[in-house]
Structure 1
Amino acid sequence: MAAPSSTDRSALVGRLRAAGCVYAEDEAELLLAAADSPATLAELTARRVAGEPLEHLLGWAEFCGQRIAVAAGVFVPRGRTALLVEAASAVTGPQAAVVDLCCGSGAAAVVLAHRLAPRWLAAADIDPAAVACARRNLAGLGAEVFQGDLFTPLPVRWRGRLDLVVANAPYVPTAAVALMPGEARLHEAPVALDGGPDGLAVLRRVAAGAVHWLAPGGHLVVEVSAVQADALCTAFDALGLVPSVWHDEDLDATAVTARRPF
């Protein structure tokens, strides 16, 4: 597409800003780069103004320095999830056996593949669209991607042998889903957002399974909100896991690691 005039560029920025896009200038540049014709730019702009996530329009999201493919309906990786990856990398040694549950696009698994060089890496999600997306992102990284509920689709031979389980499971309380921004609430799969009455229903199930799937000394690492961390740690304690809480104020992020004792 021919380079737009400064007037056209300014008009695009103004339209995006009027629609509530906080980073209108940056978004305008990305939309211009993605459009191969004025008609395509007009369509992408109209869809963005109507509330579609920018990442779904571009077909990718940036996460921890990696470009992650995302498709319509698939959970967009958030910047705050970098803390989960940092915590997982800190507690896990080299050549680990790693599983990313509730993997969505597979963003965390992609980054961990590069940072940890796992001897075995797998990801799983219950949503078929997310599984298809994760398979695209993890192609060539020696990872297997399974469709199913949490640990259910994993090979039985890995039960009790995993060094690391990460899970960016849904943790929004059911009643709060309706209060989420439309970009998430209307354009991402509900199964990726709704964490049950108190937001911890899926995470409790992840922990209950991790007790059996982790090797002694292995770690579970999850993302959660700051106000939920104490309750989640209590649940981990009750299962015999040893939790630690991680906070990052800059990312507005909280992660909990939990070690299975030897």
Structure 2
Amino acid sequence: MPASPSSGDFAASREAASSSRDFAASPSTRTSVIAALRAAGCVFAEDEADLLLDAARTADELAALVDRRVAGLPLELVVGWAEFRGLRVTVEPGVFVPRRRTEFLVEQALAQAPGARVVVDLCCGSGAVGAALADALGPVELHAADIDPAAVRCARRNLAAAGGRVYTGDLFDALPGTLRGRVDILAANVPYVPTGEVGLLPAEARDHEPLTALDGGADGLDIARRVAAEAPRWLAPGGCLLTETSERQAPAAVEAFTRAGLTARLAVCEERYAQVVIGVA
């Protein structure tokens, strides 16, 4: 997203604001913010302006937030949180921002295992999926893991209230062995963008999110296959593995689940362009 000339106009106008309450309540300030965002290409400029105004405590802070957004930083990283299934999930620079379509994965997990007691959020990123599952299920034994230390730090903040334990490491290697054969829900929001297509992603993802959270190998299914192959050793009887994929990859992903010995099916939400593969032990 290119810088906008309007951002300079807004920065100048902030001098008229004497306090956070004054500028937050000023219609002219909101109008200036909207103009800066719209000129920078933000489709939902009005909604974003309200979030930035709410996040800022001073006029200078508001100007800094607007400048960061105009420069192309994802809105969630600018304000420091993302909404996910009604929760405010903390996100930090260098951590994958949870997508609203991934709420469909959570919904499918809850429908498949409404009485789950042991939950694992693999490739957890910010921990949004684990947090949403724990919020819906009530008290659970919650574990999460990610290979990226920045994601682990962020997930620990988001899962602390649910008593979640978060580990650093490569997939199942990060988990305690005592979980083998006990997991009711294994949610694995694995990276699934083919390596050759990472460069085609929107700049907000390509430039500001970790490659390890995006790149799924030559056909995008390298990590999904690894997870599916090992999942049966970790799932409880009747436990389920869920992962997100693309429409094009879905048949091969279902095949990988089946080859691993899971009873596999595909769930689709056309409204959110979401494809979730579900495998039951």
Normalised by the shorter chain, which TM-score bucket?
A: over 0.9
SS of equivalent residue, structure 1 residue 178:
helix
* Uncovered stretches (5+) of structure 1, i.e. residues with no partner: none
Query: Which residue identity does 2:212 align to in structure 1?
Result: V
TM-score (structure 1 length as normaliser): 0.96
> Could you say what the CA RMSD is over the residues aligned between the two structures, in angstroms?
1.2
Contact 1:94–1:118 (Cα < 8 Å) also in 2: no
TM-score (structure 2 length as normaliser): 0.90
Contact 2:134–2:140 (Cα < 8 Å) also in 1: no
Contact 2:116–2:184 (Cα < 8 Å) also in 1: no
* Uncovered stretches (5+) of structure 2, i.e. residues with no partner: 1-19
How far residue 8 of structure 1 moved from its aligned partner, in angstroms, is 2.7
The structure that has the greater radius of gyration is 2
Query: Which residue identity does 2:186 align to in structure 1?
Result: V
How far residue 95 of structure 1 moved from its aligned partner, in angstroms, is 4.3
Question: Is 1:106 aligned to residue 147 of structure 2?
Answer: no
**CA 1:93 to 1:17, structure 2 compared with 1: closer, same or farther past 3 Å?**
same
- 1:122 corresponds in structure 2 to 143
1: CA distance between counterparts of 2:124 and 2:174? 13
Contact 2:23–2:29 (Cα < 8 Å) also in 1: no
Identity %: 55
Question: Is 1:156 aligned to residue 196 of structure 2?
Answer: no
Contact 1:242–1:259 (Cα < 8 Å) also in 2: yes
Superposition pairs of residues 148-227 of structure 1, within 5 angstroms: 148-227=169-248
1: CA distance between counterparts of 2:86 and 2:213? 23
Give the alignment partner of residue 87 of structure 1, picking from 96, 100, 108: 108
- 1:32 corresponds in structure 2 to 53
Of 116-125 and 103-112, deviating more is: 116-125
Please give the per-residue CA displacement for 1:87-108, whole angstroms capped at 9, x wherever unaligned. 0001114242110000000001
2: CA distance between counterparts of 1:225 and 1:233? 11
Q: How many equivalent residue pairs? A: 260
SS of equivalent residue, structure 2 residue 105:
helix
2: CA distance between counterparts of 1:93 and 1:41? 43
Give the alignment partner of residue 21 of structure 1, picking from 42, 48, 59: 42
Query: Which residue identity does 1:30 align to in structure 2?
Result: L
How far residue 118 of structure 1 moved from its aligned partner, in angstroms, is 5.1
How far residue 11 of structure 1 moved from its aligned partner, in angstroms, is 2.0
Contact 2:92–2:154 (Cα < 8 Å) also in 1: yes
Greater relative contact order, per chain length (Cα 8 Å cut-off, separation 6+): 1
How far residue 7 of structure 1 moved from its aligned partner, in angstroms, is 2.8
